[in-house]
Structure 1
Amino acid sequence: MLRWSVLLVAVVCWELAARAQGSVYFPPPLRIARHARDLWFSGPPGHLFLTPAAVDTILPSLGRMAAGFALAAGAGITLGIAVGRSRRAYALCNPVLQFARAVPPPALVPVFVVVLDFGTPMQVASIVFSAVWPVLVNSAEGARATDPLRLQVAAVLRLTAPERLWFLILPSALPRIFAGLRLSLSLCLILMVFSELLPGSDNGIGFTLTDAQTRSDLLTVWSALLLLGALGYLLNTALLTVEKRLVGPRSSAGRTA
């Protein structure tokens, strides 16, 4: 309740300040929320209250983000576990991983534009290439942190390699894997919007932002920003829920703090 009360106080202060200022550039949040509802969530119940504008705006963006996140998560976890279980492979690959992780994600988008041209493949590829590194690095570190004593016990019990992976390595690496997934999720949201801001895009939230800015439709601009914030919060909450189910609330709460 305290967390929601802080948010409520912030919204009320914003509402009062915007109404007192009366600026067209900073509309009140209630007006923004009303415009967002009329624009995207005033459809029939059979369509989950989504309007045709929502289908053309929200669903393509979520589809690109989901594809990029799934590919980045799958490749990052697989390669990270493989690299983390080999000291030699980790020593050889670690400088490259750290270099690739340090490159600003938006800086790579022009490279993918040249290689893949504009369109969905370029957008998904830019999301995957930028979002895979947090998952890969954290998965490798989690695999390296597996207790050697447990591995020795597994060898004594003659567990097979798949059994050691499933019962020892993955459970030990899960907290670090989910830390990488949360970073990757935020990068996917950023790259999804950024790739849709480029020329050649014809749908998505980023395209709606640039189109509304061109038409000086500030209410739509603020509505898109509100939508992005809500999507980020909901997706992060969903991932935290999955993490608590698989890892446990104690490690999730400790890492969040």
Structure 2
Amino acid sequence: MALRALHILLLPLVLVGVWWGASVATGLYYLPDPGEIAATFVEVWGSERLAADVLPSVGRLLGGFTLGTVLGVALGIVLGLSARLRAVLEPVLEFFRAIPPPVLVPLLMLFVGVNTTMKLAVIVSGCIWPILLNTIEGVRAVDPVLIDTCRCYGIRGRRWLTTLVLRSASPQIMAGMRQGLSIAIILMVISEMFASSSGLGYTIIQFQRSFAIAEMWSGILLLGLLGFGLSVLFGVAERRVLYWYNGVRAAARGE
């Protein structure tokens, strides 16, 4: 256990050491040393900025991701169960999926305005696609034998949907949600950089424009820590949801 913890910490420590050495050797104004960034981090983000910028950004991130998950899973189930509907809508879905979500920001600003709804729409427009597509494939991959078995035992309706379809598709749904979460973090920052008066993206771009370099790096560090923390929490939730699936895989490997 101690050896594994050492392996996990070793690479970050090496990278910090390389960064520190490069900042001292070059003396670049735009590359402050990690000590300065750490001190600035505590000073900037330990103040009222936590409530003014960080919490609203996290709220928009989680709200957009939750909405994208609900829409993606719901539409994915419908399209996964209906081959005819899927064939009709597939060209349209492929067209909209190919549009980079950041280019929708100016359009959404015109139709929705510069507000929280616009930022949520930007996040949803990007994170919904991996969830939707993975849900469709997961529903399509449900074992036909299990479908026939449920039909024989009279399992229909909502019980059939939750017991068989969602349970069978849950590994792929969770994989899509993991991808969607990383996209949601990116789009949260982009939406705040384009049009906002608060939030992490807005604050970082203001630091850059005012040449507050250490403060800018501290914001980037905070985003990295936020993404890492959310990934860890998602991993815990994923293991709880897919405990049965992980158990089946472990049994198949003979563990």
Return the TM-score normalized by structure 1. 0.90
Equivalent residue, structure 1, for 2:223 = 228
Aligned partner of 1:10 among 4, 8, 15: 15
1:4 and 1:100 mapped to 2: Cα distance?
41
**Which ranges of structure 2 fall in alignment gaps of 5 or more residues?**
251-255
2:112 and 2:163 mapped to 1: Cα distance?
41
Aligned partner of 2:106 among 86, 103, 110: 110
Aligned partner of 1:168 among 159, 164, 168: 164
Q: How far did residue 90 of structure 1 move?
A: 1.8
Equivalent residue, structure 2, for 1:46 = none
One-letter code of the match for 1:231?
L
Q: How far did residue 158 of structure 1 move?
A: 0.4
1:89 and 1:3 mapped to 2: Cα distance?
47
2:64 and 2:39 mapped to 1: Cα distance?
31
Q: How far did residue 99 of structure 1 move?
A: 2.3
One-letter code of the match for 2:109?
V
Equivalent residue, structure 2, for 1:75 = 71
* Aligned-partner SS, 1:117: coil
Task: Please give the per-residue CA displacement for 1:2-53, whole angstroms capped at 9, x wherever unaligned.
Answer: 2321121111111122122221100112221221112113xxxxxxxxx211
2:120 and 2:108 mapped to 1: Cα distance?
10
Task: Please give the per-residue CA displacement for 1:68-117, whole angstroms capped at 9, x wherever unaligned.
Answer: 11110111111111110111122222222222222211111111011112
2:236 and 2:98 mapped to 1: Cα distance?
29
Task: Please give the per-residue CA displacement for 1:188-245, whole angstroms capped at 9, x wherever unaligned.
Answer: 111111111124x111011101211121100111011111111111111111111111
1:186 and 1:109 mapped to 2: Cα distance?
18
Equivalent residue, structure 1, for 2:253 = none
Equivalent residue, structure 2, for 1:101 = 97
Runs of 4+ in 1 over 4 A off after TM superposition: none
Q: Within 5 Å, give how 1:1-257 maps onto structure 2.
A: 1=5, 2-41=7-46, 51-199=47-195, 201-248=196-243, 250=246
1:21 and 1:172 mapped to 2: Cα distance?
55
Task: Please give the per-residue CA displacement for 1:46-71, whole angstroms capped at 9, x wherever unaligned.
Answer: xxxxx211111101111111111111
Q: For this pair of structures, how many residues does the alignment match?
A: 243
2:143 and 2:95 mapped to 1: Cα distance?
28
2:242 and 2:93 mapped to 1: Cα distance?
26
1:93 and 1:22 mapped to 2: Cα distance?
56
1:206 and 1:149 mapped to 2: Cα distance?
50
* Aligned-partner SS, 1:33: helix
1:88 and 1:6 mapped to 2: Cα distance?
51
* Aligned-partner SS, 1:25: coil
2:92 and 2:141 mapped to 1: Cα distance?
20
Q: How far did residue 144 of structure 1 move?
A: 0.6
Contact 1:101 1:134 survives alignment (8 Å): no
2:169 and 2:22 mapped to 1: Cα distance?
47
1:223 and 1:145 mapped to 2: Cα distance?
45
Equivalent residue, structure 2, for 1:45 = none
One-letter code of the match for 1:18?
S
**Which ranges of structure 1 fall in alignment gaps of 5 or more residues?**
42-50
Stretch of structure 1 that moved more, 167-176 or 98-107: 98-107
Contact 2:105 2:194 survives alignment (8 Å): no
* Aligned-partner SS, 1:202: coil
